[in-house]
Amino acid sequence: MATRHSPLEANHVARQAKLVPFGGWQMPLAYATGTLREHMACRTAAVAFDVSHLGTVRVTGPDAFDRLQRSLTNDLRKIAPGRAQYTHLLDDRDASVLDDIIVWWVGDERFDVMPNASNTERVLEAVGGDDVTAARAVVAVQGPTARTVLASVAPDAAAVRRFAVASFTWRGAPCTVAGTGYTGEDGVECAVPAEVAPEFFDAVVAAGAVPAGLGARDTLRLEAGLPLHGHELGPGITPLQAGLGWVVAWDKGPFRGRAALEAERLAGPGRVLRGLVADGRRPARSGDTVRRPGQQSGAGIVTSGNFSPVLQRGIAFAFLSPDTRDGDRLEADVRGDVIGVEVVPTPFVGRRRS
């Protein structure tokens, strides 16, 4: 499959971004300032991410609501037009999370379903609709001062509340905004037509947002305790194992994967996702094994790990046995070295409100 390119790629090249393949796209990993500074800019001020690699599957018509209700785990009856909802698409056979999704309920009969980069086709097959990904760019403005920065560019977008969805106009172009993000900070995500998106991104940066790449987005989401598909979610991983049972609406009726997930709920998941903080700066990484002190056999497996710029410690997610408790002391095998880790609740870093 050919590599896809963001409408904002020229903006990134002009700012000396390092571009890397990600989910079938060519996307900025970091800019000249570096991931650490971009990360801390989001925690203390405002950044602008290009997240155009996220898909947009537009589901419309009088049956759109029912199609999504039958396909996804959460219950759209909990929200209404003008709201967004986090939800899962499950494999019907084993309740694995095929994708975790944000649904933007834009209008009475219009839903913009936002899959992860490489999962757009499977979501399209499951829910129907039209893939309109190529027609827009998505700019995420995040951080404690994100709304102040954005207000000078698009005041209507800046005013959208958390998990609300609204339309706004920028230089005559119809846009959509949601009070969503993937950093643990306040902010919004703006879907802007591709033809005006480069000017929009430049305007947001000129207003004071620091351009940030996928490297910072990953360390931010990890500090915030947010799962990444392909790591904490994916084949063989159910919502119950990932600690996301709240995203399953058991009282709404049938949905894909319900029978398999109900069987796991009755039996209890055989593993659970937990947070780990290292004794020092070195983190455990994806694929590293975790065990109890004095035991040789592995008790669990790390799914994501990195250095936390805020905590100045290594942090990680790992699947561990269900009897693991906060405060338990474990050991991680990191490329042949043993490091001490402690089981902790997530998020590792709480949201900072302006």
What are the tens digits of pLDDT across the range 227-254? 999 999 999 999 999 999 999 999 999 9
Query: Alpha-carbon distance 226 to 347, whole Å?
Result: 8
Beta bridge partners of 329: 342
Catalogue all structural domains in the chain, each as residue range(s) with its CATH number.
4-49+135-223 (3.30.1360.120), 57-131 (3.30.70.1400), 270-344 (2.40.30.110)
Strands 25-30 and 4-5: parallel
Write out the DSSP string of 210-237: EEE-HHHHHHHHHHTT---BTTTBBTTB
pLDDT (0 to 100) of residue 353? 40
Residue 290 has pLDDT above 80, yes or no: yes
- Give the residue-averaged pLDDT of 161-172: 98
Q: How confident is the model at residue 179 (pLDDT cuts 50, 70, 90)?
A: very high
Mention every residue, 6+ apart, whose C-beta is less than 8 A from residue 315. Answer: 222, 223, 275, 276, 277, 278, 283, 305, 306, 307, 308, 348
Q: How confident is the model at residue 118 (pLDDT cuts 50, 70, 90)?
A: confident
Closest CA to 272 of 235, 311, 249, 245: 245
Q: How confident is the model at residue 298 (pLDDT cuts 50, 70, 90)?
A: low
pLDDT (0 to 100) of residue 251? 96
Query: Alpha-carbon distance 152 to 141, whole Å?
Result: 13
What are the tens digits of pLDDT across the range 17-57? 999 999 999 999 999 999 999 999 999 999 999 999 999 99
Q: How confident is the model at residue 299 (pLDDT cuts 50, 70, 90)?
A: confident
pLDDT (0 to 100) of residue 354? 35
- Give the residue-averaged pLDDT of 89-102: 98
Q: What is the pTM of this model?
A: 0.96
Cβ-count burial of 102 within 10 angstroms (0-12 exposed, 13-18 middle, 19+ buried)? buried
Cα torsion for 227, 233, 237, 241, to the nearest 10°? 10
What are the tens digits of pLDDT across the range 326-352? 999 999 999 989 999 999 999 999 854
Give 293-299's long-range contacts (Cβ < 8 A, gap of 24+). 293/329, 293/330, 293/331, 298/333, 299/324, 299/330
Q: How confident is the model at residue 129 (pLDDT cuts 50, 70, 90)?
A: very high
Residue 175 has pLDDT above 70, yes or no: yes
Mean pLDDT of the chain: 96
